[in-house]
Structure 1
Amino acid sequence: MGRRPDPASVQHAKGNPGKRLSKAERQRLESERLAGLMAAAPAAGADPLSPPAFLDERFGPALAIWREYAPKLAATNRLGELHRHTFALFCVYMGEWVAANEEIVTKGATQRIKNVSGSYREVDRPAVSRRATAFAAVMELSEHFGFTPHDEYALMKDQVAMGQLGLFGNAKPAAGAAPQPEQPAAATQAEDPIGALGRMDSAPPRPH
């Protein structure tokens, strides 16, 4: 007879030395690793607009999109700390669309496959489906960040309303507070494109 195995509690205490990790242990470690990627925030002193930890150099196209658009979104109050993961999703799907589209351009939208009978037929490449899926996700997420002219205008109108409520630091001074000097109209328009867009609204025409 062979050596009697140690009790489960003893095996766990030994840490499975010299052997491969169990499936449950591998799953636990992988879950902890992924949770760490989601929870990781920019380090102290780092750029607050740095991408989440899971959006690293493995996602080259997505990372390039983040670096191009993140400063512009932050400048118009459309990207804050709570929005980083949602915008990262947009970048990943946009990167997938670029990769799938490039495959279609270089290899074609269809490919030949062999039937059971030995004949051949043309079918869509998997990249066609991947591109369509990425397109749908990109368009849905674009709405939340104002990436189409219609959505951008609607989002900016909402921001104008929130700015009037003081949610962007533009609250009206309290009663009795010292009046603040007014900014010249030209400077206001140059520094506040959202307000300029809000001023484009006009009253609806009166019925005759």
Structure 2
Amino acid sequence: MGLRERKKQATRRALQDAAVRLTLERGLEKVTVEEIAAEADVSTRTFFNYFATKEEALLGDVPGTPDEEARREFVVGGPTGDFVEDLITVLITSLVSTDDLATRREHMRLRKQLMEREPQLVRGVLARFHNVETELAAAIAERTGASPEDDHPLLVAAAAMAVMRHTMRRLHFSETEETADVRAKIQAAFRHLGEAYGPYASTD
């Protein structure tokens, strides 16, 4: 990644952090875009180069779209060859894949607080989940050879995103939680689904 791109990412992150910090201190209705920009030491114009609204800045990048490299590997049958385990790997990249896991945990923890204090933000989060679900269904269709409009990839992606939402609610984003803990929670959720719906697998 070049210097220009790193600077852009740093500015984006500073704006997101400022938006979260001010909103947790004052409440969503009492924070303006101008104040967020000033807190991040940039102009209001710069803010709008990155985000259309203060709500968009608050939502951050979670859930993120599947990591492109992880997606490509999944589509061709990797990384393990086990469909569910490979699907979990893709889901994890939308949650905790980062070079700085401690920072990522803190961002997730603060945004969990935001959702609890400012429930009006939930609609935006659900819209992001829908976008990720659509991309995930397309990847599943590619891997299985199904049409993107078939029920199978659409239902599997919908179930996977339900598991992801459930997992995010269950996580504490504490220093003791590692990527392996996230994987274990997702595995457990899929296992519960299998136990609940397993009897229908052999029926038409």
TM-score band w.r.t. shorter chain:
under 0.3
Q: When you count strand as a share of all residues, which structure comes out higher?
A: 1
Q: What's the TM-score once normalised by structure 2's chain length?
A: 0.26
Q: What's the TM-score once normalised by structure 1's chain length?
A: 0.26
Q: Which has the higher contact order (CA 8 A, sep 6+)?
A: 2
**Which has the greater radius of gyration?**
1
Q: When you count helix as a share of all residues, which structure comes out higher?
A: 2
